[in-house]
Chains A and B, each alone.
Chain A
Amino acid sequence: MRVNKSRANIMRPSRRDMLKIAGASAAFSIPHIRPSQAAPTEINLLSWYGHGEPDLVGEFEAKHNVKFKSKYYAGGDNMLALIAQSPPGTYDLILSDAEYVQQLLTAGYIDQLDPADYPFDDIFDEFKQFPGHWKDKKLYAVIVRYGHLGVAYNTTKISREDASSYKVFWKPELKGKIGHFDWHLPNLGSISLLDGNAKPGPFDINKAQWDHLKETTRSLRPQVAGFFDLGGTFSSLKSEQVWATVGIGDWITGVLKRDGAPVDSVVPKEGGIQWTESYSIGKNSGKQDIAKKFIQYILSPAGQVRTAKLKAYPALLPTKGGWKALQAADPAEANRLGLIDSADNNPIKLLREGRIHYRRLPVQQSLEEWNEFWQEYKSA
């Protein structure tokens, strides 16, 4: 005689119970199996924060049935670490600062590009042969946006006139109110310009100039409130914990201004530094065609407008078509960024006047030497 179980015991399912549960699960999951034709192609992007967000890539995603999968980094060293830890072909598109493109190339992470694929005619002459994007006349990265670093300051505490010189950081009333973006390269480059190293460049200095630069930097230490990463730089300026920050520019203050914070950036009379971003295609990517199409899209007038107004941080444009399109789409922003021929802060004009210097790795000292001095400066 079989013993009937009067109540099903959920903790001890019988074989019949298991079959019922399995059948129900299968029935529920069938709607989630989609036919493979509709699946969008995934593009793996490695970039600074925000370049895979809908405000930049949404239009492209819809048109080409792709989906961006982004891995964000903060700083070129972070980027190199991420690539080094992944198998080749992990990333299809890499957005990189210019000085890191050579490192990507040396380590074998990026493919060669064909200049004929990209609208070089539309790019300003100054940027056509951007140093760092080419090697032995071969192209490895295409410039898409750039920006200026100078003096970032709180407009209610510091006048624009005062801010128009790096000397403002040493003002006695700003003691304990100066912040540093925690990266040696833009900080030491700015102070190098204050030291007068405009020719051949703030990053190409001899031993005597390097020793003097270290002395000047050390003299700033008593003014410093702290060393901040990306998030810390935003919050310290916004909360008025610091009133001026060294080593940053509109890419930080432009975002804070959108939220109404009384901050601004200015290229001081001693000169400013340009950061430059470019796209490369990852080696062994397998999606070179769609990656190429995306780079072409970003260089098209429509894409350029989107990248100038990127939610994460605004930027200047390297294409003439991009300037015209932004002037039409958002004249106020074009005016603010200076992307108008007549503007005082027209970046091409500043470049031609010799007031802007490209950020690059130190030439006559090793990167370690600069970094070690920065660590010594922090622990002073």
Chain B
Amino acid sequence: MASDARRRAAIFAVAWRAPLLIWQGSFFIGALGFLTVMSFWLVKNYRMEPAFVFQNWERILARPFFWDAFWRTLGLASLGTLVISVLAFPAAYTIGLVLSPRAQRLAIFLLVIPFFTSYLVRAYAWQIILADRGILNFLLSWLGIPAVSMLNTPAATLVGYATLTLPLVVVLQALSISSIDRRLIEAAYNLGCTRLRAISMAIVPLARSGLIIAAVFAFILCYGDFVAPYYLGGSLPPTLSILIVDTAKSGQQWPRSAVVAITMIGVLMAVSFVAMRLVYGRRR
């Protein structure tokens, strides 16, 4: 009787967990596996042929423009993550600690709204704002300042990254800041901290996990983004995401694009791993 009940409990547990495992298994691990296998295939007469050769890896890893794109993408995404995390903090602090619960809910709701709209359309809207004869330069000319070239620069790419990630980063940071034990912050003030010292010595360390996770999300989104570097940055410089598209155009070279894609996934996994160690590593 007892083992019957235990068996039913076990089946129940498996049945509820199975869908997630099957989903992750086929659409993520299976797809990743196929991508890896494909990177060893050949392309003959514009059609892929199953094979096991290393020439795709050799060819891509030997190209200087691959490494240029590699370091530039890493640099741009890291810079973007840093700038966005710093930009998001004041808003997150206000939402997490200053606003009333009702205002907090309203603020989070407003931050979720951008996700209802198309990111590509918002990027195009930025083109109109940043163009040489766009809205910003129009305002600057009103103030007598000569036109600044903003579009098709790395700075415009960063603007695109911010459009993509800022709402998410603010929400994640705000949620983690709001869950800090207020008594610890009060204690910091009681012990003589100024506002800034309270932030650097109490709030940031206490909200550390949330801040790191928000930064990791921002990095992952920026690193793989295609829209910002292409439509706002003008492919100057081309990032790995642009390289994937360009490589596939090289006579249907999907296997070589797969090499670039796997490199990107590898970098993202390494960054996530390091971040998780930072967040959860101390606890034993």
Residues of A within 8 A of B (CB): 75, 77, 80-81, 84, 103, 106-107, 176, 182-183, 224-229, 231-232, 235, 239-241, 366-368, 371-372, 374-376, 378-379
Q: B interface, how many residues as a size bin?
A: 35 or more
Tell me if A374 and B252 are in contact (CB < 8 A).
no
Q: How far is the CA of A224 from the CA of B153 in the complex (A)?
A: 12
In the complex, besides A80-B252, A226-B235, A368-B253, 16 extra interface pairs with C-beta distance below 8 angstroms are A81-B252, A84-B252, A106-B45, A107-B45, A226-B233, A226-B234, A227-B236, A231-B124, A235-B124, A239-B131, A367-B251, A368-B250, A374-B246, A378-B242, A378-B246, A379-B237
> Which residues of B lie under 8 Å from residue A372 when comparing CB positions?
63, 65, 250
> Which residues of A lie under 8 Å from residue B242 when comparing CB positions?
378
Q: How far is the CA of A287 from the CA of B136 in the complex (A)?
A: 54
A378 CB to nearest B CB, Å: 5
Q: How far is the CA of A26 from the CA of B65 in the complex (A)?
A: 62
Tell me if A379 and B238 are in contact (CB < 8 A).
yes
A360 CB to nearest B CB, Å: 14
Q: Which of B45, B63, B133, B231 contacts A239 (CB 8 A)?
A: B133
Tell me if B234 and A228 are in contact (CB < 8 A).
yes
- Sorted from nearest, which 8 A-B pairs have the closest CB atoms? A226-B234, A226-B152, A371-B250, A227-B235, A77-B249, A367-B251, A379-B65, A376-B65
Q: How far is the CA of A136 from the CA of B238 in the complex (A)?
A: 42
In the complex formed, the residue of A with least CB distance to B153 is A226
Q: How far is the CA of A219 from the CA of B250 in the complex (A)?
A: 23
Interface pairs (26), CB distance under 8 Å: A77-B249, A84-B252, A106-B45, A106-B46, A224-B236, A227-B238, A235-B124, A239-B132, A239-B134, A241-B131, A241-B132, A368-B250, A368-B253, A371-B246, A371-B249, A371-B250, A372-B63, A374-B246, A375-B243, A375-B246, A375-B247, A378-B65, A378-B235, A378-B246, A379-B65, A379-B72
In the complex formed, the residue of A with least CB distance to B242 is A378
Q: How far is the CA of A75 from the CA of B252 in the complex (A)?
A: 12
Q: How far is the CA of A368 from the CA of B59 in the complex (A)?
A: 11
Q: How far is the CA of A338 from the CA of B243 in the complex (A)?
A: 39
In the complex formed, the residue of B with least CB distance to A108 is B47
Q: How far is the CA of A375 from the CA of B245 in the complex (A)?
A: 11
Q: How far is the CA of A103 from the CA of B44 in the complex (A)?
A: 11
Produce 1/0 per residue, B199-234, CB < 8 A to A.
000000000000000000000000000000011011
Tell me if B68 and A379 are in contact (CB < 8 A).
yes
Q: A375-B238, A379-B238 are in contact. Are A368 and B251 (CB under 8 A)?
A: yes
B149 at the binding interface (Cβ < 8 Å): yes
Q: How far is the CA of A232 from the CA of B149 in the complex (A)?
A: 17
> Which residues of A lie under 8 Å from residue B65 when comparing CB positions?
372, 375-376, 378-379
